Amino acid sequence: MAQFNYKKFILTGRNTVKKYLYVFRGLMAGIYCLQTGLIKPNIEELNKHFKIKEVTKLLEIKRAGLENEPLKDLEEGVLDSLIKGLFDKIDEAYLKCKIPEIPTDEEVEELDKFLINLRLGE
């Protein structure tokens, strides 16, 4: 997801705050999951772990209602450098990850049961 958004939007000049946040969230969530085994989709929660001040600034701009504006306040080169670093980190986290690539039959069955119960409201 991060790579798609980066290539489709950022590299083609449609680099809004919202698009940068999509890229950061995808990378940060992926790295966090690979490192901890936990899924955390909220970028503000993720940034408590990563402590990227530029993400904090992007979130402030978003909260001000300017998420679809072209990026002006932050130097784009810095953001691109940070993103490149996160792409490197996600590759490294993947190589070190202990999460199995393929779930066992029992895990698939557990997930199926969970989804059925979720849909039935149980």
Q: What is the pLDDT of residues 86-109, one digit of tens each?
A: 999 999 999 999 888 888 999 999
Residue 60 near residue 94, CB atoms below 8 Å: no
Question: In the prediction, which pLDDT does 75 show?
Answer: 67
Its domain, for residue 11, covers 2-120
User: How many domains is the chain built from?
Assistant: 1
Tokens of 83: 């993103």
Query: Is the model's pLDDT at 122 over the cut of 60?
Result: yes
Query: Is the model's pLDDT at 73 over the cut of 60?
Result: no
Which amino acid, 21? L
Residue 5 near residue 23, CB atoms below 8 Å: yes
